[in-house]
Structure 1
Amino acid sequence: MDYSEVTDRISRKFSKTGHEIDRHKVEGKLRRLIDEFGVQPAEAERSVSNELAKEFNIAPAAGFGGSPAGGSGGATEEKQVADAQPGDWVTLVGKVVSLAAPASPAIAQSGILADESGGIRFVVWAKSNAPKMEEGKWYRLESAVVDEYKGVPNLKVHSGTTIKEIEKTDPLIPAPVPVKDLRAGVASVRAKVIQEWDVTHDRMLQAGLLGDETGTVKFIIWKEQGKEKLAVGSVYSIFYAQADEFNERLSLNITGATIMQEEGDIATASGGDAEVRGALVHIAPGSGIIKRCPVEGCNRALSRQNYCPIHEIQPGFVYDLRIKGWLDDGEKTHNILLKRDVVEALTGMNLDQAKEIAENNPLGMDEVFLQMREKVLGRYVACSGREIENRLLVNTCELMKFESGEHAKLLNRAGGAS
């Protein structure tokens, strides 16, 4: 696009009124609106012209607010949040239902704006010099830009956006959707905490699995001041969570969500939604008996020196059992994880027996690993559970009777036969 041509056109408009524009500044604003925000060139030209008209105290008469093709000018269309689509230039009235810590110095604020129709994520660029918004208050945002991130509409507040606080106290209580109906975007659910997992990042406070009677979904809470973990087995109403999609799987970021613990219980999707049969062809290091951090809510696996990456040395560790490995069904190798009760049932070795070996055998914890590997490596098993992020979290695992046909499949695969 020829930005100098648009800048020339804007310059000629204001020259007729006796005003000279800063061409470099104008061209920079045009580039930012079009390249960074994805605004249509005609809308970008109109926005910059309106901003200059305000700066020079010129009434928005014909020629300053219109498009270069002679289209109509005026204020951007006021819409409900749910109707804002990528590419729109909108005015929204909504309540700031949550604020998040900015992910970059270029961002002044980020969070979720909501009205009766739904919620939308917003970003206020630092360069916009926009007034700070407060959580729980209502605002009118004029001339904001809607773009798209991972297929989800996002609201961008730039230097041409006007933010006005409005007097409104209407409560917003969105209706939760069933877990199976979740889509990428802003969503609310009523669900039970089914599992808590080991976290995979130092900034992560908690990760696990939420579920209702229709299905399950991964959830994440990032470390921020005042954030607390959810209790396994408890039921929560979670309003305005961010549902993100990665590799065709959804996860709920509930860091900035409004969370209310509820009394009672709810039914959850039972059993696993995947069953795999095949041979255990690899038992990975880190299987057998392990030590976990005893700090409440942590539960991370410790190193051999009893070191937790978050809480450092933990002499008062807690023992646990697990098996990590590969299960080959003859066509595909599955990454599997077995928790303590499944390990005990499969190997016949309970936690007390494993502790006795670990504390009294010269090989210690390695002896538990070797004995478990001897019991299960190469055996045919049937595992059922839930496959999440390319790993099967096993709920049940049973030894199968040897089938020569299955063995032949694995041999053919290993030999490269078609």
Structure 2
Amino acid sequence: MNLSEVTERISRKLEAKGAQPDQQKIESRLRRLVEEFGVNVDEAERTVTGDLAREYNVTGIGSSSTELRPIHEIVPGEWVTIEGKIVALTPPVSPSIAQTGIIADSSGAIRFVTWARANAPAMEYGHWYRLESAVVDEYKGAPNLKIHSGTTISRVEEDTPLLPSITPITELKPGVGSVRAKFIQDWDASHDRMLQTGLLGDETGTIKFVIWKEEGKDKLDLDTVYNIFYATVDEYNGRLSLALNTAMYIADEGDIEVGRTETEIRGALVHIAPGSGLIKRCPVEGCNRTLSRQNYCPVHEIQPEFRYDLRIKAVLDDGIRAKNVLMQREVVEALTGITLEEAVSIAETNPLGMDEIFYRMRNTVLGRYYTCSGSEFGGRLLVNSCTPIAFEPAELAALLNRAGGEPA
């Protein structure tokens, strides 16, 4: 659609109400919305019409962007007016950004960004605001609210109670979500900036979470149920994860029977990776990192009072694809027949030390066939159970007979 035609149409509407609009100003606003913010022409026309109607104090030609909307209904490409409470503020990642955070109402929550060039008043945590003519776009697959120079920010003095809506884990989408979940697995942090990472679960399934190091952020306690309000839901390689730095999390006295969405793979263990067997872990509360041979933790340095653990890091091949698998102590003990206490005793009396456990376990499982099931994260299967596949002579005979009967 030609923007000059749209400009002329808006101008005629305003003139019919007795206003004398500047057509150059109208077209400039349209071009900014369409070319800079990617707004479709129809929505840009409605927005500019509504903004100018307010400026010239005329009625009867308003825009839908001035109508108050519930947050859960807004979608990318719209210009909207909402009222919500600031439930999180996060550090801006660029000098061009003045403020970022999360704003919520009773229907849902959305991330927002205020551009520095907008010269908008800063919003305060815990207060309600009315935002008029804000732009909804998309960031990392989720709706995102942009506050620009045309957005009007008004503080709402009435502090309305806000009760977050809990979403089942399997129904989460990229953006912002609140869950009631149980902390069921504590994982080794893969980055120095991580305070904690692991697995949360509710009745519908499980999801990975991470808490980044930040002042005032506490770790979760294993096997505890939490109400987690306004976590950031991110998507990477088709899988969702929760970042809890924007969230408020409160321990709950109840319990949850976690529903697990498990993957099952049958195949041969074709590789046992270094770091398998008997390992040492950091004893500092909440750390659990694997120590080096010199008992060194990358966060807490030398730890002479370490604790022992068992694990197997391996590759399971089903003949079509190879999958990295990780087995923790209980699965390792059942699979190899070596308990943690036996492994420690062997390592302390054998000249090879902990290497002896690695060799024994490798010789026990390498090249053998298993059915492994567990949760799949980051390209790795976190094994909950692993069962040897029994040799079935009848199945092999039938297979050979079929192969022998096929024409050359």
Asked if 1:94 corresponds to 2:94, the answer is no
> What is the SS of the residue equivalent to 1:78?
coil
User: What are the equivalent positions in structure 2 for 1:318-337 lying under 5 Å apart?
Assistant: 318-337=307-326
Partners of 1:117 and 1:48 lie apart in 2 by 27
Q: Which residue of 1 aligns with 2:15?
A: none
- Measured after TM superposition, the shift of residue 168 of structure 1 is 1.7
**Structure 2: 5+ residue stretches without partners:** 8-19, 400-408
- More deviation, 237-246/305-314: 305-314
For the residue of structure 1 that corresponds to 2:245, the secondary structure is: coil
1:226-283 residue CA offsets vs partner (Å, 9 max, x unmatched): 111111111111122222222222212222112121113122115x622222211110
> Are residues 85 and 348 of structure 1, via their aligned partners in 2, closer, same or farther at CA, if it must alter by over 3 Å?
same
Match of 2:369 among 369, 376, 380: 380
* Identity fraction in percent: 60
Contact 1:47 1:160 (C-alpha < 8 Å) held by counterparts: no
In 1, the alpha carbon distance for the partners of 2:101 and 2:221 equals 25
Name the amino acid aligned to 1:238. Answer: I
Question: Relative to 1, partners in 2 of residues 1:59 and 1:256: Cα closer, same or farther, differing over 3 Å?
Answer: closer
The answer to whether residue 176 in structure 2 is matched with residue 186 in structure 1 is: yes
Q: In structure 1, what residue type is equivalent to 2:133?
A: S
Structure 1 residue 40 displacement after superposition? 3.9
Q: In the alignment, what sits opposite 1:213?
A: 203
Aligned equivalents of 1:31 and 1:364: distance in 2?
72
Distance 1:98-1:59 versus aligned 2 partners, 3 A rule: closer
Q: Which residue of 1 is the match for residue 160 of structure 2?
A: 170
1:313 to 296, 302, 311: 302
Cα displacement (A) at 1:331: 2.7
RMSD across aligned positions (CA): 3.7
Out of 235, 248, 254, the position equivalent to 1:264 is: 254
Distance 1:242 1:172, change over 3 A: same
Alpha-carbon spacing, 1:408–1:256, altered in 2? closer, same or farther (3 Å): farther
| Corresponding letter in the other structure for 1:392 | L
Q: Distance in 2 between matches of 1:303 and 1:2?
A: 67
Question: Partner of 1:39 in structure 2?
Answer: 39
**Equivalents in 1 of 2:108, 2:272: separation in Å?**
47
- CA 1:59 to 1:190, structure 2 compared with 1: closer, same or farther past 3 Å? closer
Q: In the alignment, is the contact (CA less than 8 A) between 2:185 and 2:198 conserved in 1?
A: yes
Picking from 281, 284, 302, the partner of 2:291 is: 302
Amino acid at match of 1:101: P
Select the residue among 278, 289, 314 that pairs with 2:267: 278
* Alpha-carbon separation, structure 2, partners of 1:297 and 1:185: 28
Letter in 1 for 2:266: R
Deviates more, 1:273-282 or 1:301-310: 301-310
Instruction: Give the structure-2-normalised TM-score.
Output: 0.83
Counterpart selection for 2:336 from 331, 337, 347: 347
State the shift of 1:50 in Å.
9.7
Matched residues in 2 for 1:6 and 1:363: separation?
82
The aligned residue for residue 119 of structure 1 is 109
Q: Residues 135 and 283 from structure 1, CA distance in 2 versus in 1: closer, same or farther, beyond 3 angstroms?
A: same
Q: Which of residues 285, 288, 302 in structure 1 aligns to 2:277? A: 288
Query: How many residues end up aligned between the 2 structures?
Result: 392
Q: Partners of 1:35 and 1:408 in 2: how far apart?
A: 67
Q: C-alpha offsets along residues 282-341 of structure 1, whole Å, 9 cap, x if unaligned?
A: 101111111222221111112233332222333332221110111122332221110011
Query: How far apart in 2 are the matches of 1:49 and 1:254?
Result: 41
Q: How does 1:103-114 map to 2 (within 5 A)?
A: 103-114=93-104
Match of 2:194 among 204, 210, 220: 204
The CA deviation at 1:161 is 1.6
Q: 1:133 deviation in Å?
A: 1.3
Summarize deviations over 1:137-192 as a string: whole Å, max 9, x none: 00011221000123321101112222121112111112312222222232221111
- How many Å separate the matches in 1 of 2:75 and 2:154? 22
Q: Which amino acid aligns with 2:180?
A: R
1:115-156 per-residue CA deviation (whole Å, 9 max, x = no partner) reads: 121111111122322222111100011221000123321101
Q: Distance in 2 between matches of 1:291 and 1:407?
A: 46
- Residue 374 of structure 1 aligns to a residue whose secondary structure is helix
Mapped contact 1:112–1:119 kept (Cα < 8 A): yes
Question: 1:310 corresponds to which letter in structure 2?
Answer: V
CA distance in 2, matches of 1:359, 1:408: 49
AA aligned opposite 2:38:
G
Distance 1:46 1:212, change over 3 A: closer
For residues 45 and 305 of structure 1, do their structure 2 counterparts lie closer, same or farther at Cα, with a shift above 3 Å needed?
farther
Amino acid at match of 2:132: E
Q: Which runs of 5+ in 1 are unaligned?
A: 8-16, 410-418
What's the TM-score once normalised by structure 1's chain length? 0.81
Instruction: Answer yes or no: is 1:60 the counterpart of 2:56.
Output: yes
* Matches of 1:44 and 1:311, distance apart in 2: 56
Are the aligned partners of 1:77 and 1:89 in contact in 2 as well (CA < 8 Å)?
A: no
Partners of 1:99 and 1:135 within 8 A in 2: yes
Q: Distance in 2 between matches of 1:242 and 1:186?
A: 5
